[in-house]
Structure 1
């Protein structure tokens, strides 16, 4: 009986794992019906296609998922930064053909490494500029704009024989907390929440999206449980006619791990109506992560399901229903891949990003070199926005200094700016939260006094309150965005970058 229940639980579990090769425990569980795996940054290497092949050899029906959004969020290019447009850039451009083409290119890249599920696009409407985890991952703050771009990108991804998974249901855009570290609660008027934040998910369901990912957020009007564990919230999707797979956000995020635990979260999510349980990134506990954290987290989730099945708080029928939906998705995407044309995609990502980038607050005078002061906030677990590749691509060998405005003294900041001004080139302050971070704005104001010819590059949400210097609004913390911004600052046409790439 124990083996039977464990195998049943395996059919709804989606773990992460440590390393660039599949560990023996993972291959053993795949052979015993494990639904598949989710790739994270630590899994990426030149041997990724071989890794996928080993996973699918162990289980030909394995779903291999990856967070690949373009812009600020990439796993495939985590070491160097994304070379595709991000959602905020596509929303600013508002060209549905470009958004669909980006989805198609995302699918091509994921399919090329053996993946078949993209955890995107983000369907959140980012209405809170303080939002630390969504921001430029959203297409924008207007539900109609977000809806049409979500549908366009879903079409591009799924036409490429890869499943799309819109996230984070019922909407993570009006929070100012990160559910990787806390359990956000939505205080918004419920009528407004339903009108604005549910709309893109309704549109995606109507468009035939394969999967929807839940959010670890509480909407008090719908109960005290986070959406991932709330049958009322997840039931809305079925009421809308959604027959696809409901996937949980990672169960090892603090919102679940530090409240009900991974095991309790797994059982409660299934009982609430979820179908596929993303266990998450085994490094999420940070310094507390153990060498075998991946297997520990997997067993915690499976043991929680088995225990709930035995005690009767979770019905076998519910788990079988969930496993059947997961298996149906695997079958659907395998059939689609077999029928897909092998013709290459003609997509000019640099041209799209160049069209999306705007310059505000003055005219840029062409510089011969740049002196970059990187004042961005530290990365979150979801978004590697502060990674060095952004500032390195912007500076491209010119002067570069990293400055933590939250912890550095005013004298240290002044000294860093003075060093930049003294260097050969135009002073550029690189920021990502000019409205929400008073320290970044203060640094820009100091730079304007010290060097009126300086400029700002903003890779976060576009500044609502004007900055005192010309600002290149990039809208994504990506390598490609930084490269295009550099071309603007140097007064060179983007065609030069496009031809070089």
Structure 2
């Protein structure tokens, strides 16, 4: 029989899990007041709505979240690529209506499969172009622009009957490390953090955001602990007027797992003021992940909370406060009446956001694609094949890991792509890091010498330094973005 403290611990935990069916341990926990679950790509199938129904049957108050942003980060369309505009594309277009309608469409899709909370939008102001984890997930590098699009997206999502989860407080945009693998430190002057990186969160709060997600980043001016575990940082969020649910970024990420540990992180996050603890993606340990890593991670967090409650390390009142906030959100969402869905044309929005640098020659009849993008990360499926497939169509494509490729392998890929290019075809170099990846730039320079009619399609941050070939700036590694670039190259 589950004791009262175990139920209390369950009520603030939000685990991920393996597979497309509900495991027995998860069903048991849901029946014992587990707050809910978070979906990742590994959970998505054609039966997702059925799975959500089973979860809600086990616990009608369960909150089901999904790590879905559109653009470069999709779980709902994990197999085929997103058909929603990404944040950078919306920021480039700077059409508030497009951001609001994109949020509304995402809400419609989420509700269709039984999802209650969308982990987005990203409110980070991407001021460091080296940023390996945010980049085109952000609306841009200007705080005012990011702020207005965050607010519009929040309103679109929440008018559509789901909760928005604005991330990653106090701002992950000025980092060059990925907190999935390390602990980033923000050395900015506090005044710059206040004036730039907190501004979109103020806009989100003013727009009525239901939840805000923390970042595993250290701001030395506010203490040595990462934001997720830091009462000064989370207290700052409350001082800004936020009364909703504070959700942690995944506690199984290396920034927490390899410092204080998942259990220690769970206790410290609650003590610091967090309300709902995301135990995220059980693949975070990488090759070290066990076949039952999902259950292990859940138990590590739950048991640590129970021990801390029993020995007084963690105040029961604090956890009850967190539980009550989570339950209030669940009740609000159950009672929500979504706005009527409106027609949505994501492809048109994306096409309007495309940028072209340099002169494109006459339309090509076919495309041969060398996919030289960086490898995928836990946060972003950077090298997903659907981008190159959509860009190439029926044409030639080859994947080239330029960081690891030998000169011979690089030359062979170029030879094959050039040979496959018909008389009226065109060689396309698909990239995502032109300003910070010397190997991508070197490949472009070599291609320019050997195939001067070639073109670059960049799905990352726009190139700030001139390239020797024309560039189509797509600003998202998505299917709809690749289709828009293909259409631009094939249409006279």
- The two structures have a TM-score, normalised by structure 2, of 0.98
Measured against aligned partners, the alpha-carbon deviations of 1:306-348 in whole angstroms (never above 9, x if no partner) come to 1111221210000000000000000111111xx235x442011
Q: Give the conservation status (yes or no) of the 8 Å contact 1:282–1:293.
A: yes
Q: SS of 2:3's equivalent?
A: helix
Q: Quote the residue 2:400 is aligned against.
A: 403
Q: Quote the residue 1:369 is aligned against.
A: 366
Give, in whole Å, the separation in 2 of the partners of 1:340 and 1:90: 23
After superposing the two structures, state which structure 1 stretch, 78-87 or 411-420, moved more. 411-420
Q: Quote the residue 2:139 is aligned against.
A: 139
Q: SS of 2:279's equivalent?
A: strand
The CA RMSD over aligned residues, in Å, is 1.1
Q: SS of 1:150's equivalent?
A: helix
Q: Give 1:274-313 correspondences, 5 Å limit.
A: 274-313=274-313
Give unpaired runs (5+ residues) of structure 1: 493-501
Alpha-carbon shift at residue 406 of structure 1 (Å): 0.5
Q: Give 1:335-484 correspondences, 5 Å limit.
A: 335-336=335-336, 339-341=337-339, 343-423=340-420, 424=422, 425-484=425-484
Give, in whole Å, the separation in 2 of the partners of 1:199 and 1:114: 32
Q: SS of 1:237's equivalent?
A: helix
Alpha-carbon shift at residue 434 of structure 1 (Å): 0.3
Measured against aligned partners, the alpha-carbon deviations of 1:345-373 in whole angstroms (never above 9, x if no partner) come to 20110000000011112234310000101
Q: Give the conservation status (yes or no) of the 8 Å contact 1:361–1:466.
A: no
After superposing the two structures, state which structure 1 stretch, 186-195 or 25-34, moved more. 186-195
Q: Quote the residue 1:13 is aligned against.
A: 13
* TM-aligned CA distance change 1:416 to 1:54, over 3 Å: same
Q: Give the conservation status (yes or no) of the 8 Å contact 1:364–1:470.
A: no
Moved over 3 A (4+): none
What is the number of equivalent residue pairs in this alignment?
489
Give, in whole Å, the separation in 2 of the partners of 1:412 and 1:207: 52
Give, in whole Å, the separation in 2 of the partners of 1:150 and 1:403: 35
Alpha-carbon shift at residue 2 of structure 1 (Å): 7.2
After superposing the two structures, state which structure 1 stretch, 418-427 or 348-357, moved more. 418-427
Q: Give the conservation status (yes or no) of the 8 Å contact 1:414–1:446.
A: no
Instruction: Indicate whether 1:81 and 2:81 are aligned.
Output: yes
Q: Give the conservation status (yes or no) of the 8 Å contact 1:14–1:37.
A: yes
Q: Give the conservation status (yes or no) of the 8 Å contact 2:2–2:32.
A: no
Alpha-carbon shift at residue 428 of structure 1 (Å): 0.5
Give, in whole Å, the separation in 2 of the partners of 1:89 and 1:115: 25
Give unpaired runs (5+ residues) of structure 2: none
Alpha-carbon shift at residue 189 of structure 1 (Å): 2.1
Q: Quote the residue 1:61 is aligned against.
A: 61
Q: Quote the residue 2:206 is aligned against.
A: 206
Q: Quote the residue 2:166 is aligned against.
A: 166
